[in-house]
Amino acid sequence: MFEQSIATLAQQLRDKEISSVELTRLFLDRIQALDPQLNSFITISDELALQQAKAADTAIANGSSSSLTGIPIAHKDLFCTQGVLTTCGSKMLNNFIPPYESTVTGRIQQAGAVMLGKTNMDEFAMGSSNENSFYGAVKNPWNLNKVPGGSSGGSAAAVAAGLAVAATGTDTGGSIRQPASFCGITGLKPTYGRVSRFGMIAYASSLDQGGPMAKSAEDCAHLMQAIAGFDDKDSTSSETPKEDYLANLNAPLAGLKIGLPKEYFGDGLDTKVADTIMAAVKEFEKLGATVKEVSLPNLQLSIPSYYVIAPSEASSNLSRFDGVRFGHRCDDPKDLLDMYTRSRAEGFGTEVQKRIMVGTYALSEGYYDAYYLKAQKIRRLIKEDFVNTLNEVDVIMGPVAPTTAFDLGSKTNDPVAMYLEDIYTLSVNLAGIPAMSVPAGFVDNMPVGLQIMGNYFAEAKLLNIAHQYQQNTDWHLQTPTMAKGA
């Protein structure tokens, strides 16, 4: 039951083969039995989930349901959920109960879905391994000694282990795609502006984008149906009409032009991961696609420019956490300044503090031109690389990450090694284009994700391409052994 697709479960709910209350109980039981091994949830909202499930059963009985009605879903703990603790993985917010709902979670709720709880994540979404959470590291369900990826590691692990049918994530520099790749699930980072950021706790506002994480492209499409589209509460939300993400899933791929950027297959890429990606590309050739080598010459510059821009925006966004309005406040402050500094020193973890310092430095007078402005110029070059290449080909394919999931603790003392993990994902956010991670095989029993990058607002096309691949392969249907234990 826990391995079924959204469409199948929706049909079973409509046919009264199972009720949403039963389905929700099944997932809550699985969370209770298996999550102690994974630590993928920060909050389990069981009472609310059962109330929502009851309401969903009534809606289904009345014939007023959508494909998400009654489906148990988990949300990254970065989306504000009204009345439900929202921590963003930080001690700073370990007492924060939002008075309002984010647009993404609100739309999913309106579609009738059940919220099982809030998933663990790197603090303020800063990380690539989910080891930066105040609530402890998340484990990879394929191997409990390995990281699930980050920062949406809790969502990825929960879906991979069958603790939720699907989940939400956010992607500032790879945080949907890289954990999806490491945990063997499907994730979509939409075009910047396609999904509202209202109620998402900001990390780097010009890069952040929420999106679906699920077992298949088809399930991601069901979530996109609910969450995509203009929102007047987000000033950067796009007015471009949203597409029907389900309508073209079955379109044939004959004639599809795929570009393989040579920079994505150079030094640093694990050779077995490279072989897995090339095998996936062969599969697309069988489906009628043609492949050509392309170039994204500024790829190497994405790490230095991202790691200036993202911390700069973060240093500004995180200045609101001052112990005054919400969040952690230190005990017995001497005066106002003491309260600010001690509240922030106690509330933020090491990685967050490091990034605030880097960002504040990059934005300070005298350094702004040398760092921030320079990084913005590089950002435009990176964007132009994609625009030019996507004039030649329909989509770009490559790996999501240079390796499969690494051992817990193996990179925590080496920030450069950790940042290098993001080499294939950051540029997509800098350009603002959409991209997916799709399960494409295994290396030494750990999942490998194929990255598919498309033009602005090409989400429906990406989902179609990924769906066709999944109709012809079964990598996305594999289940980790630990998930079968309950």
Q: How far is the CB of 312 from ligand GLN (least distance, A)?
A: 12
Rounded distance, CA 353 to CA 349, Å?
Answer: 6
Q: How far is the CB of 170 from ligand GLN (least distance, A)?
A: 6
Q: Which of 151, 216, 305, 343 is catalytic?
A: 151
Q: Which is nearer to ligand GLN, 259 or 432 (CB)?
A: 432
**Long-range contact pairs involving 195-198 (C-beta distance under 8 Å, separation at least 24):** 195/104, 195/227, 195/228, 196/102, 196/103, 196/104, 196/227, 196/229, 196/230, 196/231, 196/233, 196/234, 196/237, 197/103, 197/234, 197/236, 197/237, 198/102, 198/103, 198/231, 198/233, 198/234, 198/237
List helix spans (H) across 99-216. 103-110, 153-160, 177-183
Q: Which is nearer to ligand GLN, 119 or 172 (CB)?
A: 172
Q: Which of 40, 65, 67, 76 is catalytic?
A: 76
The separation between the first and the last C-alpha atoms of the chain, rounded to the nearest angstrom, is 12
Q: How far is the CB of 306 from ligand GLN (least distance, A)?
A: 7
Give the start-end residues of each E strand in 248-392: 257-261, 290-294
Q: How far is the CB of 447 from ligand GLN (least distance, A)?
A: 18
Question: Can you tell me whether residue 389 is helix, strand or coil?
Answer: helix
Told to judge if 151 belongs to the known catalytic residues of this protein, a careful annotator would answer: yes
Residue 127: Cβ within 10 Å count: 26
List helix spans (H) across 393-478. 415-420, 426-431, 459-472
Q: How far is the CB of 70 from ligand GLN (least distance, A)?
A: 30
Told to judge if 315 belongs to the known catalytic residues of this protein, a careful annotator would answer: no
Q: Which is nearer to ligand GLN, 143 or 209 (CB)?
A: 209
Closest alpha carbon to 132 in 105, 109, 152, 112: 152
- Residue 84 in tokens: 């439900």
- Residue 291 in tokens: 């492949």
Question: Can you tell me whether residue 120 is helix, strand or coil?
Answer: coil
Q: How far is the CB of 149 from ligand GLN (least distance, A)?
A: 9
Q: How far is the CB of 310 from ligand GLN (least distance, A)?
A: 5
Q: Which is nearer to ligand GLN, 98 or 174 (CB)?
A: 174
- Residue 407 in tokens: 């051992």
Q: Which is nearer to ligand GLN, 4 or 404 (CB)?
A: 404
List, in order, residues 6 or more apart from 15 with CB less than 8 Å away: none
Q: Which is nearer to ligand GLN, 112 or 153 (CB)?
A: 153
Cα–Cα–Cα angle for 32, 34, 38, nearest 5°? 115
Told to judge if 133 belongs to the known catalytic residues of this protein, a careful annotator would answer: no
* CB-CB contact of 210 with 168 (8 Å): yes
Interface positions with ligand GLN (CB under 6 A)? 125-128, 151, 171-175, 203, 310, 422
Q: Which is nearer to ligand GLN, 151 or 343 (CB)?
A: 151
Q: How far is the CB of 178 from ligand GLN (least distance, A)?
A: 7
Question: Can you tell me whether residue 241 is helix, strand or coil?
Answer: coil
Q: Which of 133, 175, 216, 437 is catalytic?
A: 175
Residue 216: Cβ within 10 Å count: 24
- Residues found in the chain: 486
Q: What residues are labeled active site?
A: 76, 151, 175
